[in-house]
């Protein structure tokens, strides 16, 4: 069975986007962080997005500016297989992207049972929250940035049930970012 991970950035006070829905605050980059991002982009796999994140990513990564700013990540993002979940999009034009419009949980269960590489959700807070509640996420990779936003949206907004996690590894970077890797734990353990 294919695994599903989440890779998301959050502020120190727990927001993944600010009140305007932006993440420009998460671009605290230096050479070490750029190398980490480039290695992640080479990792293969299949990317999963909600419509809003998909439209943001599809408008940037195929652009000349993206290829100039971060060529390794741009190449990886443009070449990887991608899935966008949306009931309103009529087509997905970004290279190697397929559009799924059915029930989110059912579609992800089907994807997990297909053969192929593991999958990663980038951004896409509303689908993270929904899939977390259904127990379909195998790992949470959370980048904590050294900034306090005071307002915004949390990654698990709208969730109803507790999700207990255990830390499996962590990595601190010179720019102050810390990546935390969590795996779900059954509530009765």
Instruction: Give the CB-side neighbour count of residue 179, counting CA atoms within 13 A.
Output: 16
CB 3 within 8 A of CB 119: yes
CA dist list (Å): 78 to 82, 155, 176: 9, 25, 28
- pLDDT tens digits along 115-174: 999 999 988 888 999 999 999 999 999 999 999 999 999 988 888 888 999 999 999 999
Proportion of the chain above pLDDT 90, given as a percent: 73
Residue 36 in this model has a pLDDT that exceeds 70: yes
Residue 81 in this model has a pLDDT that exceeds 60: yes
* Maximum separation of any 2 CA atoms in the chain, in Å: 51
Helix or strand holding residue 97 (H, E): strand 97-100
Check whether domain 4-177 has CATH 3.40.430.10, yes or no:
yes
Where are the chain's structural domains?
Answer: 4-177
Q: Which two tokens stand for residue 29?
A: 């980059």
**Phi and psi at residue 174, to the nearest 5°:** -60, -25
pTM of the model: 0.90
Of the two residues 47 and 30, the one the predictor is more confident about is 47
- pLDDT tens digits along 93-128: 999 999 999 999 999 999 999 999 999 998 888 899
pLDDT for the residue numbered 28: 67
């Amino acid at each position: 069975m294919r695994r599903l991970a989440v890779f998301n950035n959050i502020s120190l006070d727990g927001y993944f986007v600010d009140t305007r829905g932006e993440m420009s605050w998460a671009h605290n980059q230096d050479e070490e962080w750029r190398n980490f991002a480039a290695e992640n982009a080479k990792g293969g796999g299949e990317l999963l997005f909600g419509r809003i994140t998909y439209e943001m990513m599809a408008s940037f990564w195929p652009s000349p500016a993206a290829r100039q700013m971060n060529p390794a990540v741009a190449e990886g993002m443009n070449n990887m297989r991608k899935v966008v979940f949306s009931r309103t999009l009529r087509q997905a034009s970004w290279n190697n992207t397929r559009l799924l419009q059915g029930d989110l949980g059912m579609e992800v269960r089907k994807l997990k049972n297909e053969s192929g590489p593991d999958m990663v959700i980038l951004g896409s807070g509303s689908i993270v929250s929904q899939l977390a509640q259904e127990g379909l996420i195998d790992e949470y990779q959370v980048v904590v940035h050294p900034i306090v936003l005071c307002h915004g949206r949390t990654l698990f907004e709208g969730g109803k049930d507790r999700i207990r996690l255990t830390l499996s590894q962590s990595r601190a970077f010179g720019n102050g970012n810390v990546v935390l890797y969590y795996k779900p734990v059954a509530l009765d353990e």
